[in-house]
Chains A and B, each alone.
Chain A
Amino acid sequence: MTESLYRRVLTFANARLWQLVHIDILLIGSLLLLIGGGLFVLYSASGQNVAMIERQVFRFTVGLMVCLVLAQLPPKYMRRASPTLYIFIVLLLLGVLMFGVGAKGAQRWLPLPGGLRFQPSEIMKIVMPMMVAWYFSDKALPPSFKQIVMVIGLIVAPVLLIAKQPDLGTSLLVAVSGIFALFLAGLGWRYILGAASLAPIAGYTLWQVMHDYQKQRVLTFLNPESDPLGSGWNIIQSKTAIGSGGLYGKGWLEGTQAQLDFLPESHTDFIIAVLAEEFGMLGCGLLICAYLLVIARGLYISAMAEDNYARLLAGSLTLTFFVYMFVNIGMVSGILPVVGVPLPLVSYGGTSIITIMATFGILMSIQTHKRAI
């Protein structure tokens, strides 16, 4: 009985029809599960703001369209376009530094005609692994030392440009997405261990180049009680929200921390705390399971992809998505410093939804464009 149900699901998922329209039914299914649950939480976190929900749904719609359009694009075209895209975005990043506009002392956006703004660093999160995957697409793996140095150069250039905006969170994520591709390409374990042992030095260097407000965040992370009403407020309140949720939570719309505004940024970066308060550990577990479904499918697509380019790209995009989630939940629950990373597909906000949905479009394209063997 169970087995036949399982079989039927698999058959349905692999049905030729879905293959033809380039939709991966398992991936899109788990994404919609995640998005639907997220909207539920957002409704509570936004203070039952229907207009906000509508805007978010609109973004998901756009994101879904971007996803489906990209899914139609065969990976070989993506591969060909990769270096051009990379150079184009690096130039745009240079442009941001020269002509960028922004808020709170950071320049992150390029002004577009019609009052629109555009954040090239966001796109770099996709283009970076594309570039690394392209670089390895016609080379034998594992990479040679020379190749590794080359790739690191490709990674460091845009990362420095983004860090200079300054946007430490995004620059780290871009770096990570490139490094994942390198890792999947078979970067030797001795290099990985060597880099890990260099981490303290890297940390120190990073500390030296950090801005005061960034250092403050790290200090606050280490001891939030040192400034309970100032920069420590967020983390103290989010831990309180999470902890007071208990195993089963206080109930939907019943979280006092969230509903009485003690929780800052409750509908954006700290939305997981709302979920944790109102649905408890159980709710958090379910959310994480939904993420794991998406990630598992992504890794499966990567493992089953037909060439190096597709494998490296799919894998690093999936792992970057995971890092998003891990960093966000880690910072809100107080095991990582606060670095302004939204919870993917759940936090309220524009650009990241589109980028992430684009990521899954690429994954679906890789999965559905395989030549029949």
Chain B
Amino acid sequence: MSRQDQQFRNYRQEQRLTQHRVVAAAIFVIVLVCILLARLFYLQVIEYDLYQTKADDNRVMLVTDPPPRGLIYDRNGLVLADNRPIHSLTVTPERVEDFIGLRKELSNIIEISDSEWENFDSRLREYRRPYQSITLKSQLTDEEWARVSVDLYRLDGVQVEAQLTRYYPYGEAFAHAVGYVGRITANDLKRVDQQAYQGALFIGKTGIEGFYEKELFGEAGFSKVEVNARGRIMSQLERQSPVPGRDLHLYLDARLQQYAYDLLGDYKGSVVAIDPETGGILALVSKPGFDPNLFVRGISVADYSTLRQSKKLPLFNRALRGGYPPASTIKPFMALAGLEYGFASWTERYFAKGYYQINPDGRRYRDWKRTGHGWINLERSIIESVDTYYYQLSNKMGITPIHNFLSRFGFGRSTLLDLNGDSSGLLPSNEWKKAKYKEPWYPGDSVNVGIGQGFMVATPMQIASATSALASRGRYFYPRMADKIGDDAAQFEGDLGGEHDIILKDQGNWERMVNAMRKVITDSLGTARRLQGTKYDIAGKTGTGQVFSLQEDEEYDSEKLDKRLHDHALFIGFAPAKAPKISVFAIFENGGSSSKPADLSKKLFDAYLYGKYPPHYDYLKGKGND
């Protein structure tokens, strides 16, 4: 544009043009400011409540204060499950910026194994609430604790937390009775109050720990705290203290339990001892056991697979779930059934050949004594454990009276009051066989059941409980572990006092049967005569359970096979016979002769009734005996 042109420019008009544009811009500014103000009005006035709540949710966090877990005592006041303080190294992932760097730093300070890192990583992937710390290494030694504490200030997100952890001082002998606690899983959280378990390290999984979880846990405390954006607690607003879990006092006798466990020796097996006056379980042994402490903070994969893969099945609770043929230990009950329904009498005599046949040409059911016992009566059938007597008796009775009578003793059902997961065994009946095999009940089936074989399967707990009912002459208490919860007597649903008592048409039959069982020991032909020579009377009954078949997947191995085919050795007994204080069932798997469980039972009687323990059991005396 040239100079001449400029002279013709209308400066006034150009100024007005720009001024108009400035006014337009001012309007534009005002409109946009109104939008901003409207937005602020919307957020701060209309939606005020929503954001007010959000801001409070942000800053106020409910922190759960886990209560100390109740302790578990044996009958003498010995602590079977304890709480111990430990220091753990924990990490709050949200506060860690550089995991690789942290990993390097930490491994310079203390040793953290690969499996600990693996556990940590897997927990990192699981559900957790933000800013909740994850344990990296539990149970720091004093030295580790000191070394970490020095460097803590520069390790963001790492802290040492003092916690109470569960500890089982007596280990494997008690694992199946007391059970254990373990790390809480997503599944566990579904059945408990999730809020209460925030911050709890573990939950009862099995045994007493599992059954009495609610009582042992107590009530979680809560504190409302103000936190900053990094989850650091700035101040406490409100607090409700936790209510500690209640202590459990068991009927269990720790010394007796440990003794019984040791007496099983290298055999697999089970021992259940019950106080007939209460139904309280004095010993509940399943061998082999395992160290329950391994489970407390989450068991390592290696440890777990070792336990899982062991051929001896240490994790299997034989006392509650082991299904065994009761064998000849069923005979006293069978005899009482015969008497009750008029199929047998004390006076009637029977000629016992070496075998029994249902039909003259039929199969021969053999007696354990090939030559036969000759003329015998009911009492002698108990003393000498005459198989043929029970073949004929059960054949005469048929399965229905047997089923009805035995179920009154708890066979074929679960009567255990305060442990979970017991098997109900199998008490066969007509209906059961029809449903299961679509076949009628044959007399041969009864004959087998008559000596506690065939279809019949019972757990050690069931046989022990039935024995206890026998010992108390029909006063039948459902078996139980807990005596007192805190200071209160334990109460159970379904525990109806005398209602379960077994009343016979002739109540005198109890005493007579106990007498017959005493003669199993005192008689010169008694099958447990080796138990003679005690100051008190023992009543008992031996049993030898046949092991029928191999499991399908087992390979042929002559040595192992032999051992595996050995009979199970069983014994039931109680003492003193007149007024029993203890009844016992013991089984040695593949133990061969029933002398082993009989001897064990006698030792338990000596120990329980007269305190005759080997000296090294003194450490298990408990404070009640001090």
Q: Please say whether chains A and B are actual partners in one complex.
A: yes
CB distance from B179 to the nearest CB of A (A): 39
Flag the segment in B112-120, B134-142, B209-217, B225-233 that touches A.
B225-233
Cα A308 to Cα B11 in complex, Å, equals 9
Cα A308 to Cα B51 in complex, Å, equals 49
Contact of A262 among B29, B47, B229 (CB under 8 A): B229
A residues 102-141 near B (Cβ < 8 Å) are 138-141
| Known contacts A138-B1, A260-B229, A312-B18; A247 and B44 CB within 8 A of each other | yes
B26 close to A (CB within 8 Å)? yes
A residues 304-347 near B (Cβ < 8 Å) are 308, 311-312, 315, 319, 322, 326, 329-330, 333-335
A299 / chain B contacts, CB cutoff of 8 Å = 22, 25-26, 29
Cα A98 to Cα B47 in complex, Å, equals 49
B5 / chain A contacts, CB cutoff of 8 Å = 140
CB pair A142–B22 under 8 Å, yes or no, is no
A326 / chain B contacts, CB cutoff of 8 Å = 32-33, 36
A158 / chain B contacts, CB cutoff of 8 Å = none
| Known contacts A183-B21, A303-B18, A319-B25; A242 and B43 CB within 8 A of each other | yes
B39 close to A (CB within 8 Å)? yes
B14 close to A (CB within 8 Å)? yes
CB distance from B541 to the nearest CB of A (A): 69
A245 close to B (CB within 8 Å)? yes
CB distance from B96 to the nearest CB of A (A): 14
A21 close to B (CB within 8 Å)? no
B residues 7-41 near A (Cβ < 8 Å) are 9, 14-15, 17-19, 21-23, 25-26, 29, 32-33, 35-37, 39-41
A53 close to B (CB within 8 Å)? no
Flag the segment in A26-34, A159-167, A284-292 that touches B.
A284-292
A315 / chain B contacts, CB cutoff of 8 Å = 18, 21-22, 25
CB pair B44–A281 under 8 Å, yes or no, is yes
| Known contacts A139-B1, A183-B25, A260-B226; A243 and B35 CB within 8 A of each other | no
Which chain B residue lies CB-closest to A288?
Answer: B33
Contact of A288 among B36, B130, B226 (CB under 8 A): B36
A330 / chain B contacts, CB cutoff of 8 Å = 36, 39
A277 / chain B contacts, CB cutoff of 8 Å = 55
Which chain A residue lies CB-closest to B234?
Answer: A260
Contact of A184 among B25, B51, B55 (CB under 8 A): B25
CB pair B18–A308 under 8 Å, yes or no, is yes
Cα A244 to Cα B37 in complex, Å, equals 16
Which chain B residue lies CB-closest to A246?
Answer: B48
A359 / chain B contacts, CB cutoff of 8 Å = none
Cα A329 to Cα B39 in complex, Å, equals 10
| Known contacts A243-B47, A247-B45, A288-B36; A186 and B21 CB within 8 A of each other | yes
B52 close to A (CB within 8 Å)? yes
CB pair A242–B51 under 8 Å, yes or no, is yes
- Render A256-269 as a binary contact track against B, CB cut-off 8 A, 1 for contact: 11001110000000
A319 / chain B contacts, CB cutoff of 8 Å = 25, 29
Which chain A residue lies CB-closest to B32?
Answer: A326
Cα A188 to Cα B1 in complex, Å, equals 20
Q: Is the interface of B mostly helix, strand, loop or mixed?
A: helix
B6 close to A (CB within 8 Å)? yes
| Known contacts A260-B229, A326-B32; A240 and B40 CB within 8 A of each other | no
Please classify how large the interface on chain A is, using the bins under 10, 10 to 19, 20 to 34, 35 or more: 35 or more
A368 close to B (CB within 8 Å)? no
CB pair A302–B22 under 8 Å, yes or no, is yes
Which chain B residue lies CB-closest to A260?
Answer: B228
B229 / chain A contacts, CB cutoff of 8 Å = 237, 260-262
Cα A155 to Cα B51 in complex, Å, equals 42
A239 close to B (CB within 8 Å)? yes
B123 / chain A contacts, CB cutoff of 8 Å = none
Cα A28 to Cα B33 in complex, Å, equals 22
Cα A262 to Cα B39 in complex, Å, equals 21
CB distance from A240 to the nearest CB of B (A): 5
A229 / chain B contacts, CB cutoff of 8 Å = 130
CB pair A281–B41 under 8 Å, yes or no, is yes
CB pair A262–B58 under 8 Å, yes or no, is yes
How many inter-chain residue pairs (CB < 8 Å) link A and B?
145
CB pair A333–B39 under 8 Å, yes or no, is yes
| Known contacts A260-B228, A261-B228; A240 and B51 CB within 8 A of each other | yes
| Known contacts A140-B14, A262-B229; A329 and B36 CB within 8 A of each other | yes
Please classify how large the interface on chain B is, using the bins under 10, 10 to 19, 20 to 34, 35 or more: 35 or more
| Known contacts A244-B52, A262-B59; A292 and B21 CB within 8 A of each other | no
B50 close to A (CB within 8 Å)? yes
CB pair A288–B18 under 8 Å, yes or no, is no
| Known contacts A140-B9, A183-B21, A288-B36; A242 and B58 CB within 8 A of each other | no
Cα A260 to Cα B48 in complex, Å, equals 20
Which chain B residue lies CB-closest to A261?
Answer: B229
Contact of B40 among A186, A276, A296, A308 (CB under 8 A): A276
A139 / chain B contacts, CB cutoff of 8 Å = 1
A185 close to B (CB within 8 Å)? yes
B54 close to A (CB within 8 Å)? yes
CB pair B44–A239 under 8 Å, yes or no, is no
A70 close to B (CB within 8 Å)? no
CB pair A285–B25 under 8 Å, yes or no, is no
A residues 160-189 near B (Cβ < 8 Å) are 180, 183-186
CB pair B22–A184 under 8 Å, yes or no, is yes
A241 close to B (CB within 8 Å)? yes
B37 / chain A contacts, CB cutoff of 8 Å = 284-285, 288
Cα A260 to Cα B57 in complex, Å, equals 13
CB distance from B37 to the nearest CB of A (A): 7
- Render B236-251 as a binary contact track against A, CB cut-off 8 A, 1 for contact: 0000000000000000
CB distance from B234 to the nearest CB of A (A): 6
B26 / chain A contacts, CB cutoff of 8 Å = 296, 299
A63 close to B (CB within 8 Å)? no
Cα A276 to Cα B229 in complex, Å, equals 19
B234 / chain A contacts, CB cutoff of 8 Å = 260
Cα A281 to Cα B6 in complex, Å, equals 52
| Known contacts A261-B230, A281-B45, A333-B40; A244 and B25 CB within 8 A of each other | no
A185 / chain B contacts, CB cutoff of 8 Å = 18, 21
CB pair B58–A257 under 8 Å, yes or no, is yes
CB distance from B92 to the nearest CB of A (A): 14
CB pair A141–B17 under 8 Å, yes or no, is yes
CB distance from A193 to the nearest CB of B (A): 13
CB distance from A12 to the nearest CB of B (A): 25
CB distance from B11 to the nearest CB of A (A): 8
Cα A223 to Cα B546 in complex, Å, equals 72
Cα A247 to Cα B33 in complex, Å, equals 18
CB pair B55–A244 under 8 Å, yes or no, is yes
Cα A141 to Cα B51 in complex, Å, equals 51
CB pair A246–B39 under 8 Å, yes or no, is no
CB distance from A362 to the nearest CB of B (A): 16
Which chain B residue lies CB-closest to A259?
Answer: B228
User: Which of A140, A241, A261, A280 counts the most chain B CB atoms within 10 A?
Assistant: A140
- Render B153-183 as a binary contact track against A, CB cut-off 8 A, 1 for contact: 0000000000000000000000000000000
- Render A138-159 as a binary contact track against B, CB cut-off 8 A, 1 for contact: 1111100000000000000000
Which chain B residue lies CB-closest to A282?
Answer: B44
Kindly list 5 other residue pairs between chains A and B, CB separation below 8 angstroms, not including A243-B43, A246-B48, A284-B44. Answer: A243-B52, A277-B55, A285-B37, A308-B18, A315-B21
A to B CB contacts below 8 Å, 25 in the list: A138-B6, A140-B6, A184-B18, A184-B25, A229-B130, A239-B43, A243-B47, A243-B48, A244-B51, A244-B55, A247-B45, A256-B56, A256-B58, A256-B59, A260-B227, A260-B229, A261-B229, A261-B230, A262-B228, A281-B45, A299-B26, A315-B21, A329-B36, A333-B43, A335-B39
Binding site for B on A (CB under 8 A): 138-142, 180, 183-186, 229, 237, 239-247, 256-257, 260-262, 276-277, 280-281, 284-285, 288, 292, 295-296, 299, 302-303, 308, 311-312, 315, 319, 322, 326, 329-330, 333-335
The 8 closest A-B pairs by CB, nearest first: A243-B51, A244-B55, A261-B229, A260-B228, A243-B43, A244-B51, A281-B44, A262-B229
